[in-house]
Structure 1
Amino acid sequence: MSDQRMIGHYRIVELLGAGAMGKVHVAFDTFIDREVAIKSLRAELTQDPEFVGRFKAEAQSLARLNHPNITTLYSLLPDGNALYMVMELVRGRALDDVLRDCGGPLGVKESLAIIAQAADGVAYAHQMGVIHRDIKPSNLMIGNDGRVKIMDFGIARVQGSVRMTRAGTAIGTPLYMAPEQRRGSEGDERSDLYSLAVVLYEILSGAPPFAGLDEVELLQAQIGKDPPPLVPRVVGVTPELEAALMKALAKRPEQRYPSIRAFSDAIGATSLRVDATTIVQSPAHLLDRTTQTASAGAAASLPSVALAVARSRSTSLVRRFKSLHPALQGVSVAIVAFAAVAPLLFGGGGDAEGGAKKHDERIERDRRAAEPEIDRRQTAKSYDYAQVGEIKPVRNEIDRPAVATTDTPSKPKCNEGFSIADCQPSSVPGQKTATVEKASLGSAGTIADLRRAVKEKEFDRAFAIGEPLAETGEREAQFIVGMISLKGQGRSQHLPTAFKWIKKAAEKEFPEAEAVLGNMYQNGDADGGENLDEAVRWFTKAAEQNNARGQFWLGKAYEKGVSNVLKKDVRKAGDLYRLAKTQDFPGAAEALEALRKSGKY
């Protein structure tokens, strides 16, 4: 599609954005003189019935909806073998872009004004029988007029329609999916409610409520852990707001609010509906630090904070108690009662000193609980895989000077700071703390043994454990075995073995394997030698899964314009460096700063 191509009576003006499935262009309707957005599938996907079916399903979902907080569909336009959705053009920025540029949470009032509008749109969609199933910041557009628009109904489902995925297949974005969706359920209104609550938690605190170094660990957190409390670390969040948010994040759907509207009422967002666009104003207004400071208000006094913490913790205990089975509730009451009368029954000699010590311990626990989660992460020990050495970029086509080099690498190459610890997939920027003994679905014991062997730097044993597991198709084992072979740890380096297993893991959409495979193609360590087009393809796949390594090296490719399939684009390079920087990827901050100093970004 060229910039001046006509599609029917629409003249294409510019490319607005591109993703894994398609592109969105700005176009001009020559019949009624207005700008529109035209969404299209990638050419290679138009031959795939599943993708075409999803594209039509999105149009059918949108055709049922007409609401100020949902993008409007004008028509579904066929053109030869292609299909185009002609839609309302929304000028503004996606919420995830705003959060990324902001570098921290938004003000409480602005956050609730955003959620008030999103809740209106989602509630209307539910009334019309449409479940979105992928509510997340990137699908919430903040218009330049302050209006929030819900985007991308690509995996939405009309209630009562034939499901487009196999039973037991999860679909959506893992970080924002409700636990029942992660288990393969279609989900209902309460699943969208959960996702919207995750969004609210993130924009209030600056980070999602659950984190994990891979999807398995993230799932375990979503199912088995409570979100870190917001009171008192987020200024302006009241115990009532926190309690309502935590209820919406309940593990079981029946424990949440019955509807989006009930949730909006409980958090106080509904009362802001009339003034919501005025409060939000624009993306630029949200990025204004003075706005956030004004929204936060003055710091509360110490007694007020202590009272708020006490109310928050007591509410949390009550909520946990109510979530228990009735039989367990009875047992819990009996245990508490026994603990209360035990000192009277069995004597209390020396209890004063012990009681004081326990009191001090409780104070310390409360103090730590009140600290910002991000501060604890910064001091936490990094993911406890053993470091297996660095692979210096002896020769790197994307990053090397224009002058040719005759260096012949004798060892495999990658960027600075590369280690197995870095090679775990992560969808949560900045999250580095994990437990080595976590289980992988279907192969818990063997994976635990493999990780333990790597942690203890017993690479021969790790290889012996990992290779049979890799043969079964376990992608993490494939990746680890490939990395041991690539680095020559505990055995001779063997590039064919490394390439074989890393490629298999990449083909199973293991994000870090995709990025490392790109490095191997980039550096000539793959079968067939150097192939920059393949390197860019795998970097792109990794970057689309929010992998920092993929983002960084794809940024390098855009900055240099080295590939036949990728033109030089410094703006995209900077955007990718910025994404990698948010995950503390080595070199990303420096690359971004260099672009800014050059005046190109």
Structure 2
Amino acid sequence: MTQSSQLTALPVGYRLAEYTIVRQLSVGGFSVVYLALDDADRKYAIKEYLPRNLAERNDEGMVTVPHELDRDAFNLGLKCFFEEGRILAEISHSNVVHVSNFFRANQTVYMVMEYADGRSLGRELEVAGGRIEERRLRKWFAALLSGLREVHLHRLLHLDIKPANIYLRRGGHPLLLDFGAARQTLSRRDKHFASMYTPGFAAPEQYEKDQALGPWTDIYAIGACLYVCMGGKTPQVAHERMSNDKLAPASKLFRHYYSRELLELTDQCLMLAPDARPPSVMTIQKRLLETDYSKPEPIPESAAAARKLVGWIKGLAGGRSS
């Protein structure tokens, strides 16, 4: 399917049930997300099931499956998407995106979610200069894991946790967005969806059809997020690590910036073997909430002196500009 997002997205002003489309928020290979208003002018994010490897939109706005051989895969994904929305609608937690409605229209399914002002963790990381201080990391991820634990208690997995899918409301309250359970179902069933998960954040078992997925799979992604928030690059793709592991441990790379406890926890989450990772989300949360943790290793004097010199030069530059 080579259609552009402009061709597949519903147009501005389109009336969808009791909602009016304002604009497109995002588009991917699996869905399109819109900003919409209801009749009382309340904002919502509406997610449309539209797997573009299988389906397209016709001139009347209907979602169609051009090739009959793709029909079963499309229907399976639709069923999983609908079930995902049903479960999320049952979850009421401040750190999990709330689904208020889901319905069928245009021969597909729509999920109506809360719309919150703020920005993604990925964007926050950019604003922070590529590294987030430990106190904030612990606070945000402990809260986020509280929501993820609730998701797991409902027997649902996220399967696509990454900085872009962690949203920070104004004030820093984290929100878990864009669940990928239905995406993953198609990925493991159909070769067309082999790249529907996010390389670097996806656990090794997500690449193997015969490997069981579980809470441990989301735990790997949490470790990858922590690693990136510490200043690391996106971790090496998991299935490549299985044959030639080149991922430098967080405890080695970031020992001058973060406590030993947080670094060891991050490395444990990123273990390739599921049973080597922390046993539960609650375990990670408890370790994040510990307040009596050791200080990072001191930065060598030469590095500290260099940082002071950079600060002094910046100060001089600032003085000239004023």
TM-score of the superposed pair, with normalisation by structure 2:
0.71
Give the match for residue 142 of structure 1: 168
Question: In structure 2, what is the Cα distance between the partners aligned to 1:196 and 1:147?
Answer: 17
CA distance in 2, matches of 1:9, 1:179: 42
Q: 1:4 to 1:143 in 2, by over 3 A?
A: same
Structure 2 partner of 1:220:
243
Q: Percent identity?
A: 26
Q: Distance in 2 between matches of 1:23 and 1:58?
A: 16
Q: In the alignment, what sits opposite 1:62?
A: 88
Higher relative contact order (CA 8 A, sep 6+): 2
| Matched residue type, 1:10 | Y
Aligned counterpart, 2:56: 44
Aligned pairs for 1:27-38 (under 5 A) are 27-30=36-39, 32-38=40-46
Sort the Cα spacing of 1:192 and 1:10 in 2 relative to 1 into closer, same or farther, 3 A.
same
| Aligned-pair CA distance for 1:175 | 0.9
Q: Distance in 2 between matches of 1:39 and 1:120?
A: 24
Alignment of structure 1 residues 360-379 onto 2, 5 Å = none
Inter-CA distance 44–50: structure 2 relative to 1 (3 Å threshold): farther
2:236 match: 211
Q: Partners of 1:156 and 1:234 in 2: how far apart?
A: 38
Deviations 1:307-335 (A, max 9, x none): xxxxxxxxxxxxxxxxxxxxxxxxxxxxx
3-state SS, counterpart of residue 171 of structure 2: coil
SS in 2 for 1:193: helix
Q: Is structure 2 residue 242 aligned with structure 1 residue 242?
A: no
Q: Does 1:23 align with 2:35?
A: no
Tell me if structure 2 keeps the 8 A contact 1:130–1:157. no
**2:167 aligned counterpart, secondary structure:** strand
Matched, 1:92 2:118: yes
Match status 1:188 vs 2:214:
yes
Select the residue among 253, 277, 280 that pairs with 2:274.
253
Other-structure match for 1:378: none
Paired residues of 2:102 and 2:112 also in contact (CA < 8 A): yes
Residue in 1 that maps onto 2:315: none
The structure that has the greater radius of gyration is 1
> Which structure shows the bigger proportion of residues in strand conformation?
2
Instruction: Give the C-alpha shift of residue 140 in structure 1.
Output: 0.8
Q: Supply the distance in 1 between the matched residues of 2:161 and 2:296 (Cα, whole angstroms).
A: 32
Partner of 2:85: helix, strand, or coil?
helix
* C-alpha contact 1:133 1:192 (8 A) present in aligned 2: yes
Q: Deviations over 1:211-261 (max 9, x none)?
A: 26xx8645534xx45633435745431222222222222222222221111
* SS of residue in 2 equivalent to 1:106: coil
Once residues 183 and 31 of structure 2 are traced to their aligned partners in structure 1, the CA distance between those partners, rounded to angstroms, is 20
Length-normalised TM-score, structure 1: 0.40
SS of residue paired to 2:87 = helix
- The 3 A distance-change label for structure 1 pair 146 and 63 is same
Q: Deviations over 1:464-516 (max 9, x none)?
A: xxxxxxxxxxxxxxxxxxxxxxxxxxxxxxxxxxxxxxxxxxxxxxxxxxxxx
**Corresponding residue SS for 1:26:** strand
The residue correspondences of 1:416-431 to structure 2 (distance < 5 A) are: none
CA deviation profile, 1:549-596 (whole Å, cap 9, x unmatched):
xxxxxxxxxxxxxxxxxxxxxxxxxxxxxxxxxxxxxxxxxxxxxxxx
Other structure's SS at 1:78 match: strand
Aligned partners of 1:136 and 1:176 also within 8 Å: yes
Q: Deviations over 1:9-64 (max 9, x none)?
A: 2122232222233322222221x552211112347173332443343233133223
CA, structure 1 residues 301+149, in 2 after alignment: closer, same or farther (shift >3 Å)?
closer
- Give 5+ residue unaligned stretches, structure 2: 1-9, 58-62, 66-73, 304-322
Alignment partners' CA distance in 1, 2:182 and 2:78: 14
Provide the residue aligned with 2:283 in structure 1: 262
Match of 2:203 among 174, 178, 185: 178
Partners of 1:256 and 1:52 lie apart in 2 by 32
| Counterpart secondary structure, 1:126 | helix
**Partners in 2 of 1:25 and 1:301 — Cα distance?**
47
CA contact (8 A) 2:77 2:183 kept: no
